[in-house]
Amino acid sequence: MNEFGLDDFEVAGPVQRRSMRDEVYKLLYKRILAGKYIPGEWLRQEEIASLLGVSQTPVREALDQLVATGFAERVPFRGVRVLQLTNDEIADAYVLRILLESVAARLAAQNITNEQLIALFDVLDGTHKLHALEDMPAQRQLNKQFHGLIVAASGNSLLTKLYETVSNTFPDWMLYEYIFRHPELLPSSLENEFQAHKAIAQALAAQDENLAAQKVIKHIRTLGKEFENFLDIPGEIFIKREQQIGPM
């Protein structure tokens, strides 16, 4: 049995659950997080279906879901592979997150409803209950949901659409994959992320748009430092992108 409580593909046997697509997606998702599929590696539909003992239809749907959530990319006439980004592409996504999310935080501080605040704090509470390595896929989903709720609370539907595109390109899963291979970092990483999210949520509850924007920018800059420290991406590339857009 592997760390997910599932055998490797070679001995997994048929997947027998209510939603075959979701089960295949979860398994592929976890294998990417665990580094068993590396950036740029092809995810062969026929091969995966054969190893899992399922038809190609749920595998194709699971691959589509991986593409939609930013884990993989579809290359015309070739297939689907684990997303592989250049340092420049990561830096582009980084600076766009700073721009879009800081604006969204300002608008959300003005427009967020009580129901949206309750939902935001519920997600925050949910993340604080996840501590183990096997919780990391759920942790990432709640993380994305937290940020998505803030952008949605801005009340700007076009901003929400733009953010979804940027969010699906931002490779935060690479950080999760690194932490998965270095579990000693997990407690401090989760606690730091929780405190950052808590500060953002509290600023929104106080309707302090300047503070909300500042906390969002600080949080994303921390992610940039993690890319530098964990993945050896030069920090200068993030600094340069921020200099290009001016003071925030």
| CATH at 231 | 1.20.120.530
Structure tokens belonging to residue 115: 């129901």
Task: Return the DSSP state at 71.
Answer: S
Residue 133 pLDDT: 84
Q: Could you tell me the CATH number of the domain that includes residue 57?
A: 1.10.10.10
Check whether residue 145 and residue 223 sit in a common domain. yes
Check whether residue 175 and residue 57 sit in a common domain. no
Residues 96-110 have a mean pLDDT of: 97
> Quick one: which of 148, 173, 181 has its CA closest to 71?
173
Q: In angstroms, rounded to a whole number, what is the distance separating the alpha carbons of residues 124 and 143?
A: 8
Element (H, E) at 80: strand 79-82
Residue 141 pLDDT: 83
The total number of structural domains in the chain stands at: 2
Structure tokens belonging to residue 34: 């665990």
> Quick one: which of 121, 117, 245 has its CA closest to 220?
245
Check whether residue 104 and residue 203 sit in a common domain. yes
Confidence of residue 14 (pLDDT cuts 50, 70, 90): very low
On the question of pLDDT at 38 being above 80, the answer is yes
pLDDT: which is higher, 141 or 13 = 141
Residue 10 pLDDT: 43
At CB < 8 A and 24+ separation, what contacts does 226-230 make?
226/175, 227/90, 227/94, 227/174, 227/175, 230/175, 230/178, 230/179
Percentage of the residues of the chain whose pLDDT score is greater than 70? 93
| Residue that is last in its domain, among 50, 82, 114 | 82
Residue 68 pLDDT: 85
Task: Return the DSSP state at 3.
Answer: T
Structure tokens belonging to residue 221: 């800059």
| HEC string for 164-218 | HHHHHHCCHHHHHHHHHHCHHHHHHHHHHHHHHHHHHHHHHHCCCHHHHHHHHHH
On the question of pLDDT at 30 being above 90, the answer is no
On the question of pLDDT at 197 being above 70, the answer is yes
| Residue span of the structural domain in which 27 resides | 9-82
| Residue that is last in its domain, among 82, 111, 141 | 82
pLDDT digits (tens, 9 = 90+) for 229-238: 999 999 999 9
Contact predicate 124/179, CB 8 Å: no
On the question of pLDDT at 5 being above 90, the answer is no
Check whether residue 37 and residue 135 sit in a common domain. no
Confidence of residue 9 (pLDDT cuts 50, 70, 90): very low
Q: In angstroms, rounded to a whole number, what is the distance separating the alpha carbons of residues 170 and 233?
A: 14
Let me know if residue 1 belongs to a domain.
no
- Give me the sheet containing 72-75, strands edge to edge: 42-43, 79-82, 72-75
Check whether residue 101 and residue 176 sit in a common domain. yes
On the question of pLDDT at 53 being above 60, the answer is yes
| Residue that is last in its domain, among 82, 100, 120 | 82
